Amino acid sequence: MAIRKVGVIGAGVMGAGIAAHISNAGIPVVLLDRAGEKGGPSLAQQAIGKLLKSKPAAFMSRHNARLITAGVLEQDLEVLADADWIIEAVSEDLALKHSIYRQIAQVRKRGAMVSSNTSTIPLTALVKGLPRSFQCNFLITHFFNPPRYMRLLEVVSGEKTSTHGLKKVLQFADQALGKGVVHCNDTPGFIANRIGGFWLQCALLEAIDLGLTIEEADAVCGRPMGIPKTGVFGLMDLIGLDLMPRILSSLCSLLPASDALQEISDIPALLTGLIEGGYTGRKGKGGFYRLKISEKGRHKEVLDLQSGEYRCPEKPRLESLVAAKSSLQALLEHPDRGGLYASRVLLRTLAYTTSLATEIANDIATIDQAVRLGYNWRYGPFELIDQLGAKWLVGRLEGEGIAVPPALADAARSAGFYREEAGVREHLNAKGHYQESARADGIYTLSDAKLGAKAVAANAGAKLWDIGDGVLCLEFCSKMNSLDPDILGMLMQTVADLPKSHQALVIHNEGTNFSVGANLGLLLFASNIAAWSEVEGLVKAGQDAYTALKYAPFPVVGAPAGMALGGGCELLLHCDAIQAHSETYMGLVETGVGLVPAWGGCKELLGRMSRNPRRPRGPIPPVQGAFELIAEARVSTSAAEAQEGGFLGPRDRVSMNPERLLADAKALALSLAPKYKPPEPFVFQLPGPSGRAALELAIKSFHRRGLATDHDVRVAGKLAWVLSGGDQEGPCTETQLLALERAAFVELARHPDTITRVEYMLENGKPLRN
């Protein structure tokens, strides 16, 4: 039985966020909490209002809010009667939870699953005293905040938990919610909070003890360790400073006195003072960092850990950070305070994690996955140990007088915690033997495809991989997956060679972003030496490659995740179909640097607008729709928004779980392969000068109100000229539109204001705002 309706009890930050994300899966959800003030909206109604205003957005589409029904627990309990899954997300009060479970038991239908979002309370305590029939349908599903963006879902099931019911929830969480489901043992704090709590507390105390600045601590415990640049203090601000003491208190009340966390559980007076003063992080007046608003605008300030006063941030200048560029081991061996801080924090965290290997999970791969997904680490703790070398770590721990856990000693005697054998990834188990790292059915990533394999073709910018069943995958390998002549050359080579041996192509990579667009550095170099023929040649090369892709004799499926901007978006628009991850951010953003899309983006978006049956007929509406999206450089904040905006069409699909994206894209490509025929060239009916005049009126209005600069007007005018079909009204072929794009691009590229904007983008990573 599939999950078709969900109930969430508790409309706090977590409960409301969970309800929002379930609505993102297209599933109706009931959100229940207490009544509000007399005559006012209920707490659940208030929560939905806050969700609609939240940043980052909780909803992938604002329309999803309609799927949430708000109610009052005391009055509307019966609305849970047809729910297939009921999630309790109230405060960590065991008596309150038991009271709610008794109420749920009165109305839930037979077989409906019930779970708690608890972060620390063991399952044995939650089900104590409850009927066996309730225990059979009960489990823990611990979401991480914010539920839309944090993929980790920790699951704890009991001996009595129904296998069928458990499978139903896990399948829904994996496929419909996109979660990385991690099975935890029923221990305090499960996996992520147990390890993360130790790591953060250790990092806080050691920074104070060693006299580091916050900027130094975050730089050390950040990118050199494969941790997001927020580091530890930025992360604590994000989590909420008031949450840390509560988690530690709960953990320490449940852990034995011998647990290493007990030794570092004291809360510093500095942290207590911040919390009492309302400085609880981003949700409060600030935390270790804050935004100060003055007459000069908003600027960031950072707390001095010694004085407790805020000051302007300072760039950390530690020799150990320079050493870290060569290796993590070099950072940990450096004698300055940064190296000492790194070794004290990381060595103790890795030792603590290894000591828990058999206690908190069934295998080390599960622990690594939980930490990667829960804290956005690039590598899990055991993967980090393999990077450092297990033997090296044993030596360092012995030198520091830290006990060496048995699991680490086993790894030091073996080839490490992980190894690759005959194209299969294996991990060291509790018995000291290697076993295959199992994956859920249907999960298949490009990393899996590359294990033990050799690229079919490769150059400096791209690689071509065989992913089975006659399908190839084209992977970008450039910095930030920016598009350059190497990638364009590989596209042309693939179109020519693929039909000889394969039947379909998927374009996909595992970078943070699918592609940030064309390599602007090449454009700037050519502009600085006035090599305008080179600029035009680059534009023509992109047009030729994308046109060849569109009319290739085999189906092409784009499989993006993250940002797909500029030329990256244009490439996707030329594919037969798109299998997008739900967190795909698409947009034609060229106007932000003073240009227009010229690799066929104007043409393809205009074609999608023209063929969309939901749009008004006639030559003007498609032009107007495309103009608004491109001129404003709009970027979708989700795949759902990309569908609403017109970047994704009826043939395109969305995958919620990024680990299923490649398999889904491959299946879509194979479904298109039988009797495949390339699309017929499209002939546009465009309004010409009259349509351009209408668009220019809007441009001039923006200019008069000070909302557009002179160069904005120039760029928008050229865009209007392209989309309207140039100087001719009536039929316009794809070839003619490409010529218009190319002419407009080259003319704008020559302008000094465009060159200034390109330089600013390359230096600052964001467009110049006038």
The shares of helix, strand and coil residues in the chain, as percent rounded to the nearest 5, are 50, 15, 35
Residue 221 in this model has a pLDDT that exceeds 70 = yes
Rounded Cα distance, 61 and 49, in Å? 14
Instruction: Let me know: does 31 contact 48? Beta carbons within 8 Å.
Output: yes
Confidence of residue 770 (pLDDT cuts 50, 70, 90): low
Domains of the chain: 6-183 (3.40.50.720), 192-425 (1.10.1040.50), 449-589+635-679 (3.90.226.10)
Rounded Cα distance, 416 and 409, in Å? 10
**What percent of the chain shows pLDDT beyond 70?**
100
Query: Which single residue is written with the structure tokens 């399908």?
Result: 471
Rounded Cα distance, 596 and 588, in Å? 8
pLDDT tens-digit profile of 500-517?
A: 889 999 999 999 999 999
Over range 299-319, report the average pLDDT.
93
Over the chain, what is the mean pLDDT? Answer: 94
What 432-439 contacts at long range (C-beta under 8 Å, 24+ apart), as own/partner pairs, is 435/363, 437/363, 437/365
Cis-peptide into 485, omega within 30 deg: no
**Which segments within 295-447 are labelled E, that is strand?**
297-303, 310-311, 418-421, 424-428, 434-436
Over range 66-77, report the average pLDDT.
95
Residue 297 in this model has a pLDDT that exceeds 80 = no
136 burial type by CB count under 10 A (0-12 exposed, 13-18 middle, 19+ buried): middle
264 burial type by CB count under 10 A (0-12 exposed, 13-18 middle, 19+ buried): middle
Q: Which two tokens stand for residue 155?
A: 């699951």
pLDDT tens-digit profile of 262-271?
A: 999 999 999 9
Q: Which two tokens stand for residue 107?
A: 């109305």
**Helices within 255-360 (DSSP H only):** 260-263, 269-276, 319-323, 328-333, 337-355, 357-360
Over range 650-658, report the average pLDDT.
96
pLDDT tens-digit profile of 575-626?
A: 999 999 999 999 999 999 999 999 999 999 999 999 887 777 888 999 999 9
Would you state the pLDDT for residue 688?
Answer: 95
